[in-house]
Structure 1
Amino acid sequence: MKTSLDKKRIVKSLGILAIGAVLTTGGLFLWQNQFDISLFSSAATNNIQAMIVLGERQDAQLSIHVSAVEKLINSQQTLPVETVNRAEEGAIISSLRDQAVLGYNDVTKPITNHVYFLVSFGKNITVNGITDKDSISEISSKTTKEVTTLIDLLSARPGVFPKGFTVFLATLLDPLDGISDVTSCKGAIPNNGKEYVNGVFEAVNNSIKTTGSIYPQYIKVVDVAKAFSGHGLTSTTPWFSDCLTLNVAGQAEMARLFVAAVEKE
């Protein structure tokens, strides 16, 4: 579904905000409080009833891009979107199905309109696979299976989503950026060989993108990995503060990417 947003104005304004967040002391606070909904024109529609968040982390950096998307949607609607956050710290990929069921059960009113799912996952299945030295193809297959299972679960319940749903599925961020020594992430990513580790990250992201292309009516892939390329932990312009956490610039970029993906719909 298309919106009537002024795209040039959004991109310019978000760029200014992202720069301000990086250069200003307490930039994270700046980002959270100056993402002004007046940036967006109002279409006065009520197309999106609920936004359900699924994933493997529950922290401040997740809340930043969820909040940004929420403000974007609310700027276009007369009725506010209901946000249900079911992401869990340390969850494994198969938890997405349970999170989805709990999420749409948590929506307080009967679902009569479109539902968005914001999904970020893959870190734990990747790290666990590297730890167990699973083959790259096995890890890739697990990723595909779990995404497919999630979509099959949601699409098999048309009565639950009478106006449909859209899954915004993020690719997996590689803090090593495909070029760093894996010892940079000691304790976070097992050092089982640079070529193997990089191969796993690449395979997981290829699986996400391929699965997205199989279900274009349901999945919109948010290719954060591509956008973050060149900004790994040891780069000259890192968007990570450590192997698991984005810095202020990374958080701002993540929010921008999700806002842009939702804005296109």
Structure 2
Amino acid sequence: MRQKIVAGNWKMNKTLDEALALASEVSNMVKDEVNTDVQVILAPSFISLTAVGKLIEGQKRLALAAQNCHHKTSGAYTGEVSVDMLKSIGVSFVIIGHSERRMYFNETNEQLAEKTNLLLQNNIRPIFCCGESLEQREKGIHIDFVKQQLTESLFHLDTNQLQKVVIAYEPIWAIGTGKTASTEQAQEMHEVIRKHIASKYGEAAAAEVSILYGGSCNPTNAPELFACKDVDGGLIGGASLKSRDFVSIVKSFSE
């Protein structure tokens, strides 16, 4: 049985006090209302990681994620944060390869392979983002593009390593736009991703990899999206900043 996951990517939002308030609300709601084994992940900004981590410590359904890490172990990289630093404060997951990082900071598949290696060496699970632009989808090259992202960043891993990676498919054209891939579009690409993994690692290994949907998921469309055969949860942006909306998405697995 694949792990069901709902991760909240808070992006560059929330001061420390606001982050603690939101984490506290989510924590209490999850404790009181969620009766499934879904893994709930909170990804606040770097400045709030330690405090939020302490607030949710010991809660079996809640885990802490960073929104990024650097692809080198240490050195003269002003303003960056290393995997060792994240490990030292109890981070369990790190989001890497988000479309915003690729677009605004020119992250490459090669750098993401380095990040993946460092994270796995430190027993931190990567949440590896992949996805296509509207232009790529309209040109009909979206499937090959996403396959290339996976191949160049992950396919050097062995089977055991690959199974620790969480994959988040994010159609770039549906992030923050209010547009959402149809359930058919979401399932199609999730199936493509799983079959591509199977082509390298075999069907049994591919069947164990959690693949999340990451494009304008909300309480209304989450139940239908999460019911798709190959969709194992969501990487949630805007809706994760509202505790009730986020927990409603989490509860989509039990409703």
Please give the range of the TM-score, normalised by the shorter of the 2 chains: 0.3 to 0.5
| Structure-1-length-normalised TM-score | 0.40
